[in-house]
Amino acid sequence: MISVEQGFCIWLTGLSGSGKTTIAQELVKRLENSRFIEVMDGDEIRKGLSRDLGFSKEDRNEHNRRVIFCSKLLARSGVIVIVALISPYRETRAYAKEQIQNTIEVFVKAPLEVCIERDPKGLYKKALAGEIKNFTGIDDPYEEPLNPDVVVETDKQDVNESVNTILFKIHANGLLSDEAYESMTK
Protein backbone atom coordinates (compact mmCIF):
# COMPACT_ATOMS: atom_id res chain seq x y z
CA MET A 1 0.00 0.00 0.00
CA ILE A 2 1.32 3.45 -0.90
CA SER A 3 1.69 5.82 2.02
CA VAL A 4 -0.53 8.89 1.79
CA GLU A 5 2.50 10.93 2.84
CA GLN A 6 4.57 9.82 -0.11
CA GLY A 7 5.41 12.46 -2.68
CA PHE A 8 4.00 12.32 -6.16
CA CYS A 9 3.98 14.22 -9.42
CA ILE A 10 1.07 15.50 -11.49
CA TRP A 11 2.53 15.95 -14.99
CA LEU A 12 0.29 18.27 -17.04
CA THR A 13 1.08 18.07 -20.75
CA GLY A 14 -0.65 19.81 -23.65
CA LEU A 15 -0.38 22.55 -26.21
CA SER A 16 0.31 26.15 -25.27
CA GLY A 17 -3.02 27.66 -24.25
CA SER A 18 -4.64 24.31 -23.41
CA GLY A 19 -5.04 25.26 -19.73
CA LYS A 20 -2.09 23.64 -17.97
CA THR A 21 -1.17 26.64 -15.83
CA THR A 22 -4.81 27.37 -14.94
CA ILE A 23 -5.31 23.77 -13.82
CA ALA A 24 -2.01 23.83 -11.90
CA GLN A 25 -3.13 26.96 -10.02
CA GLU A 26 -6.45 25.36 -9.06
CA LEU A 27 -4.70 22.15 -7.98
CA VAL A 28 -2.49 24.22 -5.68
CA LYS A 29 -5.58 25.82 -4.09
CA ARG A 30 -7.15 22.43 -3.48
CA LEU A 31 -4.01 20.63 -2.31
CA GLU A 32 -2.34 23.43 -0.33
CA ASN A 33 -3.52 22.25 3.09
CA SER A 34 -2.39 18.66 2.59
CA ARG A 35 1.41 19.11 2.48
CA PHE A 36 4.23 20.83 0.62
CA ILE A 37 3.57 21.59 -3.04
CA GLU A 38 5.89 22.83 -5.77
CA VAL A 39 4.75 23.95 -9.22
CA MET A 40 7.23 23.46 -12.04
CA ASP A 41 5.84 25.78 -14.73
CA GLY A 42 7.65 25.57 -18.06
CA ASP A 43 7.61 29.33 -18.64
CA GLU A 44 9.01 30.04 -15.18
CA ILE A 45 11.69 27.35 -15.43
CA ARG A 46 12.85 28.85 -18.73
CA LYS A 47 13.44 32.18 -16.96
CA GLY A 48 15.93 30.55 -14.58
CA LEU A 49 17.10 26.96 -14.72
CA SER A 50 16.70 26.68 -18.50
CA ARG A 51 17.40 30.26 -19.57
CA ASP A 52 20.35 29.01 -21.65
CA LEU A 53 18.13 26.80 -23.83
CA GLY A 54 16.25 27.46 -27.05
CA PHE A 55 13.45 25.49 -28.69
CA SER A 56 15.23 22.89 -30.82
CA LYS A 57 14.24 19.30 -30.10
CA GLU A 58 17.52 18.82 -28.24
CA ASP A 59 16.97 21.93 -26.12
CA ARG A 60 13.37 20.98 -25.35
CA ASN A 61 14.52 17.53 -24.25
CA GLU A 62 17.21 19.07 -22.04
CA HIS A 63 14.67 21.50 -20.55
CA ASN A 64 12.38 18.57 -19.78
CA ARG A 65 15.29 16.53 -18.37
CA ARG A 66 16.10 19.35 -15.92
CA VAL A 67 12.47 19.56 -14.81
CA ILE A 68 12.36 15.77 -14.42
CA PHE A 69 15.50 15.78 -12.27
CA CYS A 70 14.20 18.51 -9.95
CA SER A 71 10.76 16.90 -9.76
CA LYS A 72 12.30 13.55 -8.86
CA LEU A 73 14.22 15.09 -5.95
CA LEU A 74 11.15 16.90 -4.66
CA ALA A 75 8.76 13.94 -4.98
CA ARG A 76 11.10 11.56 -3.19
CA SER A 77 11.19 14.08 -0.32
CA GLY A 78 7.41 13.91 0.08
CA VAL A 79 6.51 16.99 -1.96
CA ILE A 80 3.52 17.11 -4.30
CA VAL A 81 5.02 18.28 -7.59
CA ILE A 82 2.77 19.81 -10.23
CA VAL A 83 4.50 20.07 -13.60
CA ALA A 84 2.85 22.34 -16.19
CA LEU A 85 4.96 21.79 -19.27
CA ILE A 86 4.12 21.36 -22.96
CA SER A 87 6.53 18.38 -23.01
CA PRO A 88 5.71 17.64 -26.66
CA TYR A 89 7.52 14.31 -27.05
CA ARG A 90 6.22 10.93 -25.82
CA GLU A 91 9.75 9.69 -25.21
CA THR A 92 10.42 12.48 -22.71
CA ARG A 93 7.13 11.96 -20.88
CA ALA A 94 7.84 8.22 -20.63
CA TYR A 95 11.23 9.07 -19.13
CA ALA A 96 9.51 11.31 -16.56
CA LYS A 97 7.27 8.43 -15.49
CA GLU A 98 10.30 6.14 -15.17
CA GLN A 99 12.26 8.64 -13.09
CA ILE A 100 9.67 10.26 -10.81
CA GLN A 101 7.86 8.11 -8.29
CA ASN A 102 4.07 8.08 -8.50
CA THR A 103 3.70 10.22 -11.61
CA ILE A 104 0.19 10.88 -12.89
CA GLU A 105 0.34 11.92 -16.57
CA VAL A 106 -2.51 14.30 -17.37
CA PHE A 107 -3.23 15.17 -20.99
CA VAL A 108 -4.69 18.68 -20.96
CA LYS A 109 -6.46 18.35 -24.27
CA ALA A 110 -7.78 21.23 -26.33
CA PRO A 111 -8.05 21.44 -30.11
CA LEU A 112 -5.35 23.54 -31.77
CA GLU A 113 -8.04 25.95 -33.03
CA VAL A 114 -9.19 26.57 -29.44
CA CYS A 115 -5.60 27.15 -28.25
CA ILE A 116 -5.03 29.59 -31.13
CA GLU A 117 -8.24 31.40 -30.20
CA ARG A 118 -7.25 31.61 -26.52
CA ASP A 119 -3.60 32.55 -27.28
CA PRO A 120 -2.99 34.07 -23.81
CA LYS A 121 0.59 35.08 -24.60
CA GLY A 122 0.16 36.03 -28.26
CA LEU A 123 2.56 33.26 -29.28
CA TYR A 124 0.36 31.57 -31.86
CA LYS A 125 -0.12 34.88 -33.64
CA LYS A 126 3.67 35.30 -33.84
CA ALA A 127 4.24 31.68 -34.89
CA LEU A 128 1.61 31.88 -37.63
CA ALA A 129 3.23 35.10 -38.87
CA GLY A 130 6.60 33.31 -39.03
CA GLU A 131 8.09 35.35 -36.18
CA ILE A 132 8.62 32.28 -33.97
CA LYS A 133 10.19 29.09 -35.33
CA ASN A 134 9.83 25.57 -33.89
CA PHE A 135 6.54 26.43 -32.21
CA THR A 136 4.74 23.35 -30.92
CA GLY A 137 1.54 22.67 -32.81
CA ILE A 138 2.44 24.99 -35.71
CA ASP A 139 5.79 23.96 -37.19
CA ASP A 140 6.96 21.53 -34.52
CA PRO A 141 4.94 18.44 -33.55
CA TYR A 142 3.05 17.74 -30.36
CA GLU A 143 2.86 13.99 -29.84
CA GLU A 144 -0.40 13.35 -28.02
CA PRO A 145 -0.10 10.85 -25.18
CA LEU A 146 -1.17 7.36 -26.23
CA ASN A 147 -2.20 6.17 -22.78
CA PRO A 148 -2.26 9.03 -20.25
CA ASP A 149 -3.50 8.39 -16.72
CA VAL A 150 -6.05 11.20 -17.08
CA VAL A 151 -7.46 13.20 -19.98
CA VAL A 152 -9.17 16.53 -19.34
CA GLU A 153 -10.76 18.28 -22.31
CA THR A 154 -10.63 21.95 -21.47
CA ASP A 155 -12.88 22.95 -24.34
CA LYS A 156 -15.61 20.75 -22.80
CA GLN A 157 -14.81 20.73 -19.07
CA ASP A 158 -14.39 23.74 -16.81
CA VAL A 159 -11.45 24.05 -14.42
CA ASN A 160 -13.34 22.55 -11.47
CA GLU A 161 -14.40 19.49 -13.45
CA SER A 162 -10.87 19.04 -14.75
CA VAL A 163 -9.33 19.29 -11.29
CA ASN A 164 -11.93 16.93 -9.78
CA THR A 165 -11.09 14.36 -12.47
CA ILE A 166 -7.38 14.63 -11.62
CA LEU A 167 -8.00 14.44 -7.86
CA PHE A 168 -10.17 11.35 -8.35
CA LYS A 169 -7.27 9.57 -10.08
CA ILE A 170 -4.78 10.63 -7.40
CA HIS A 171 -7.14 9.32 -4.70
CA ALA A 172 -7.78 6.09 -6.64
CA ASN A 173 -4.01 5.54 -6.77
CA GLY A 174 -3.83 5.77 -2.97
CA LEU A 175 -1.95 9.07 -2.94
CA LEU A 176 -4.65 11.04 -1.08
CA SER A 177 -6.49 9.87 2.02
CA ASP A 178 -10.29 9.56 1.88
CA GLU A 179 -10.62 12.51 4.25
CA ALA A 180 -8.30 14.75 2.20
CA TYR A 181 -10.01 13.78 -1.06
CA GLU A 182 -13.49 14.48 0.30
CA SER A 183 -12.47 17.90 1.61
CA MET A 184 -10.95 18.86 -1.76
CA THR A 185 -13.89 17.87 -3.94
CA LYS A 186 -16.78 19.44 -2.01
**Residues with catalytic roles:** 87
Distance (Å, rounded) from C-alpha 31 to C-alpha 33?
Answer: 6
Which of 156, 183, 175 is CA-nearest to residue 19? Answer: 156
Cα–Cα distances (Å) from 40 to 11, 72, 118, 184, in that order, read 9, 12, 22, 21
SS3 144: coil
